[in-house]
Amino acid sequence: MKTLDASGYSCPEPVIMTKKALKDSPDGLDVIVDNRASKENVTRYATALGYKVAVEEGSGNWTLRISR
Protein backbone atom coordinates (compact mmCIF):
# COMPACT_ATOMS: atom_id res chain seq x y z
CA MET A 1 0.00 0.00 0.00
CA LYS A 2 1.27 3.46 -0.87
CA THR A 3 2.15 5.88 1.94
CA LEU A 4 1.66 9.63 1.77
CA ASP A 5 3.50 11.69 4.39
CA ALA A 6 1.56 14.93 4.89
CA SER A 7 3.34 15.78 8.14
CA GLY A 8 4.24 19.44 8.44
CA TYR A 9 1.40 20.60 6.22
CA SER A 10 -1.69 22.39 7.48
CA CYS A 11 -5.16 22.13 5.97
CA PRO A 12 -6.27 22.13 3.30
CA GLU A 13 -2.95 20.85 1.89
CA PRO A 14 -3.19 17.27 3.33
CA VAL A 15 -6.69 16.89 1.86
CA ILE A 16 -5.47 18.10 -1.55
CA MET A 17 -2.47 15.75 -1.37
CA THR A 18 -4.78 12.86 -0.42
CA LYS A 19 -7.13 13.65 -3.31
CA LYS A 20 -4.23 13.51 -5.79
CA ALA A 21 -2.76 10.34 -4.25
CA LEU A 22 -6.11 8.52 -4.39
CA LYS A 23 -6.26 9.15 -8.14
CA ASP A 24 -3.02 7.14 -8.46
CA SER A 25 -3.99 4.56 -5.81
CA PRO A 26 -7.79 4.27 -5.95
CA ASP A 27 -7.81 1.12 -3.79
CA GLY A 28 -6.42 3.07 -0.84
CA LEU A 29 -3.33 4.36 0.88
CA ASP A 30 -1.83 5.31 4.22
CA VAL A 31 -1.69 9.02 5.05
CA ILE A 32 0.52 10.31 7.86
CA VAL A 33 -0.54 13.61 9.45
CA ASP A 34 0.74 15.45 12.51
CA ASN A 35 -2.16 17.62 13.59
CA ARG A 36 -5.72 16.93 14.70
CA ALA A 37 -7.39 19.19 12.10
CA SER A 38 -5.68 17.34 9.24
CA LYS A 39 -6.63 13.98 10.78
CA GLU A 40 -10.27 14.99 10.98
CA ASN A 41 -10.42 16.66 7.54
CA VAL A 42 -8.68 13.83 5.66
CA THR A 43 -10.88 11.29 7.44
CA ARG A 44 -14.02 13.26 6.56
CA TYR A 45 -12.93 13.61 2.92
CA ALA A 46 -12.13 9.91 2.47
CA THR A 47 -15.34 8.83 4.21
CA ALA A 48 -17.37 11.10 1.93
CA LEU A 49 -15.86 9.26 -1.04
CA GLY A 50 -16.95 5.91 0.37
CA TYR A 51 -13.63 4.80 1.85
CA LYS A 52 -13.12 3.21 5.25
CA VAL A 53 -10.57 4.94 7.48
CA ALA A 54 -8.68 3.23 10.30
CA VAL A 55 -6.71 5.60 12.53
CA GLU A 56 -3.49 4.57 14.27
CA GLU A 57 -2.05 7.07 16.72
CA GLY A 58 1.71 7.30 17.02
CA SER A 59 3.99 9.60 18.94
CA GLY A 60 2.98 13.02 17.66
CA ASN A 61 1.28 11.79 14.51
CA TRP A 62 -1.55 9.71 13.12
CA THR A 63 -1.54 7.16 10.31
CA LEU A 64 -4.83 7.08 8.44
CA ARG A 65 -5.29 3.76 6.63
CA ILE A 66 -7.72 4.54 3.82
CA SER A 67 -9.23 1.51 2.08
CA ARG A 68 -12.26 0.37 0.11
Q: How far apart are CA 43 and CA 57, in angstroms?
A: 13
Q: How confident is the model at residue 34, as a pLDDT?
A: 97
pTM to 2 decimals? 0.95
What are the residues whose beta carbons fall under 8 Å from the beta carbon of 8, sequence distance 6 or more? 34
pLDDT tens sequence across 6-59: 999 999 999 999 999 999 999 999 999 999 999 999 999 999 999 999 999 999
Q: Which CATH class is domain 2-67?
A: alpha beta
Can you give the pLDDT at residue 1?
84
CA distances from 27 to 17, 36, 37 (A): 16, 24, 24
Q: At what angle do helices 13-24 and 36-48 cross, to 10 degrees?
A: 40
